[in-house]
Structure 1
Amino acid sequence: MNGEKEVLFQVKNLKTYFPVKEGLLKKVTGNVKAVDGVSFEVYRGETLGVVGESGCGKSTMGKTVMRLLNPTDGEILYRMGGEMKDVAKFNKKELFDFRKEVQMVFQDPYSALNPSKKIGEAFEEPLKIHGIKDQKKRQEIMDRVIQMVNLRKEYLLRYPHEFSGGQRQRLCIARALEVNPSVLICDEPVSALDVSIQAQVLNLMKKIQHELKLTYIFIAHDLSVVQYMSDRIAVMYLGEIVELADSKSLYREPLHPYTKALLSAIPVPVINSGKKRIVIEGDVPSPINKPQGCPFHTRCPQCMQQCKTEKPVLLDRKGEGHFAACHLYSREEIL
């Protein structure tokens, strides 16, 4: 099925390291390996969910793909003008054009809007930057996108503090849609909202995606939200993708022990459902000194000797696009 789809993003061995500096001379003594060798593809029109514990590197990965952070290594290929181009090598003009096609919705709607500016001013600024000089045209675009997120045009005359959290997030989504992007990178867009408001925003995002034929990279730590929104899901642990599959396969038959533990933590609204919780012992290792072998072996209940010395490769374990980086599934089983 994926072979019939157009690849929009192709990320290859992406790494984002932050140097650790110590002493008076600020000597680099190590690196925080926030994203450490991530590879994946995003197809036009789909939603790729990215999930994992806090600190796993999912938000850093999203910001690096957007080029808000510069990658340490790897390629970020994006389809522009019919050909795949490396975003990491874009000059200022190319990056400007890329930012028009790929927009980001941030986690905190409170800090995403300038409290000293009216909503209309915040909306008008990106339109001016992207060359829409006619004030009437700008007003038409602002009116259209704010109505698209089920808010009234007169809200453009108000300040951010006059809105609820859900309304602010809808305003942030509307502002991202002003320049007609192809992709929205959503960094935990509903995690700061109440559950009832989350449902409204998620349904709105699905509706807008269908109407505008958008592609989403949807980053979250809430597994239920990711399941609802995503066509495919990448599970991250300690800066690496440990499992990647379509949503139904991942939730029906997870392969990696870490994914199984995450899914077992989803609350079930049934008393005595018989669902058994898999508790992960220990703490997440430091991203500065990652363990040798499999990054999860220090906490894995099924750890083998091979896991401690040999790093598993993310491979299609079933021949159906269900990738996992785990020694529990041998190469012979793949073939």
Structure 2
Amino acid sequence: MSFKMPPITDTQNGDVRKVGFELEFTGLTLEQALEPLCSILGGQVEQRSAVEFGVRTDNLGTFNIELDWDFLKRKAKSAWQKDDGHELVDILHQAALPVVPLEIVSPPIPLDQLEPLNQLIPALRKAGAKGTEDSLIAAFGVHINPELPDLTAATINNYLKAFALLQWWLVDAHDVDPTRRLSPYIALYPEAYVKTLLNDNSADMDHLFESYLTHNPTRNRALDLLPLLAEIDADRVRQVVGDPKIKARPTFHYRLPDCRIEDAGWDLTKSWDLWCVVERLAADPQAIEILAMRFLKSERPLIGVDRKVWVKEISQWLNDQGWV
């Protein structure tokens, strides 16, 4: 399957927009995962520690692959630099493999150069990679980091409103695994924030910061805006959220999709194409206004908007538009 293109494919500077992907899975050692990564994408392996590698490709940039456990990564890096402590790192590494995911992090890739990623998925699957459904306790997912067309408050607000209107529908459309639905890592925007957002017609960056950080002072959101806000004003973000994992970049951090790499026929287009529904709505301010009015009018005293009713309504609307 080919990756769908969003309505706006270029940045305000005329460059093709870029997107990065993060893929979490188990079933393979780092060395086993490196084999398909190198065979499909080519490139040179750079070992950084026992649990972190890079694969530098000529055309797409450097892919990072690691065991996604910060404590172990710190221990492994120290052992690698000091040439000491390797035995402890090896014990922790072996203990972590069944429950801690490997993570492949792609560089930002232009939208018109994404196809090699879909060659990588079946190669990893053939090697034995397992995703979300393989663990009852681990919430493995796919993270999508799409670059914005521009960093104006108006554009960011349009994306926020589009996602807020679609978030309940997206959970169903992605068929998010119950384990991940219950995890704190992909919490949806609270309804109080959604109502505040949809009632706000300003395009003021200060107000955007204040409103978002008041209602969402955490990385644990299905659509995490903190990397983007840190790109614009890192000090303001860190005054509210001191998490060192926040990395400034001109992208959203979309964390909702499962990793279904073990399923035949699954690839990254399944996750990306649903994100593109957000892209289409974000590019249509008139549609946002119409749907926002419908959402706000459907609120019931004390109990808010009926989720099932809204999902049914938004599903019908999307079908009527031919977007799904």
TM-score, normalized by length of structure 2? Answer: 0.26
Relative CO higher for 1 or 2, CA cutoff 8 Å, sep ≥ 6? 2
Bigger Rg, which one:
1
Greater strand percent: which structure?
Answer: 1
